[in-house]
Amino acid sequence: MRWANLLVLCPVASYQLAAFPFAALFHHLSASGRLSPTARYISLLAGGCLLAGQAMGSYAVLLLIPMAGSVLILLSASPAHVHTWAFSLQMSWQTLCHLGLRTPGYFPSRSAVILSAVMLLTQKVTSLALDVHEGTVTLQPSQGLLQRALPLCSYLLFFPALLGGPLCSFRRFRAQIEFPGTSHRPLGAAGQRCLCALALQVLRTQLEGQLATMQGCAGLSCVHSMWTQALLFKLAYYSHWMLDEALLEAAGFGPEAGQGDLSGSDLWVLETTNRVAVFARTWNKSTSRWLRRLIFQRCPAQPLLATFAFSAWWHGLQPGQVFGFLCWAIMVEADYRIHPFLRSRAASRGAKLLYHGATWLCTQLIVSYILVAVESESFSELHLLWTSSNSILPLSYSLALLLLLLTKKPKQN
């Protein structure tokens, strides 16, 4: 069992909670007009540097180097080539960080915090580079170098989104800096999200104790063990996303409706949907939208497979991640084809209820299988998953996909 991604949430949560007073103070001073736009940029940048130093120590240089390189590219490269250069630099650096920090001798919490920050930096850099490439953002070349660089540095390192949070576009960031009064959000919204995160964390702690009492598994008990492990991962991520958005709310950068990583309606959809594809689109929504824009909409061939393959690369290309994301791509493709086939044959009310119930159960088990695979640390853990009864359902979905592809009638001219 791989617990690194769970362990990282504890130190990250402590840093996020410690940043709440500063976020609230920043929002109060900005909304009251006591800080000029330049002072707001500087405050957010200084806060990000301090938080990086506190959370990462001397390894914060691993974040500052690609940030500086990306700013140079954004300021010097032409719009036609800025995305290619920024993407190449950021993904190359991130891959080196994944390879270097996965070696023995690093504390899991410290290395995971660094990698998380670098991955979030990649999102912001590539998103901004695409905006410049597409002409939706102009960096005002008539201004001086410092005036152009300061907003970019502040955006890439601003402390409310340094260690987590949904992706905030540069246009929205700049608008909220220039016109802070239009982004007023009460602290009550941040408090509600913190309470939700606390409740989810308490529930996860209770389930963790239950999982610790399990002694191995055989047959159907393996299914229950896998589902419990996956639920632990989901609750950890849910609480983490809630806390991230709460910090952004407190600083006045709360996402627009439907643009965050997790809302109450998203949580309901994730746990009640009977479609693997719907789960994939709703899980970590801002990252899903980023992947769709960066890869899916720009890939000329096999965009679904390319998107999940890139997601495995972005996450670190560990064995479990490669297998898990490629399995996810196959399950989504199967989902697109199996559901129309089943819906067309569910005519009566009872058949429709059976269809929804059975496909919901299948979706929950397949998602659990994928999450446990992605969090597997080694080939030995993957082998245990492959050889367990948990693999029956994904293999059945894959076989159904193959049969539907083989029996598909060729299109007539």
Residues with catalytic roles? 284, 315
Sign of CA dihedral 26, 30, 32, 37: positive
Which two three-digit tokens encode residue 378? 């080694």
58 HSE (CA, 13 A, CB side): 0
Q: Residue type for 308, please? A: F
Rg (CA), the chain: 22
19 HSE (CA, 13 A, CB side): 34
Question: Closest Cα to residue 32, out of 248, 180, 250, 186?
Answer: 180
Burial of 297 (0-12, 13-18, 19+ CB in 10 A): exposed
Q: Residue type for 22, please? A: F
Q: Which residues of 172-188 are buried (b: 16+ CB within 10 A; e: fewer)?
A: ebbebbeebeebebeee
Decide if 255 contacts 27 (C-beta within 8 A).
no
End-to-end alpha-carbon separation of the chain, Å? 53
**Cα gap 174→179, rounded to integer Å:** 8
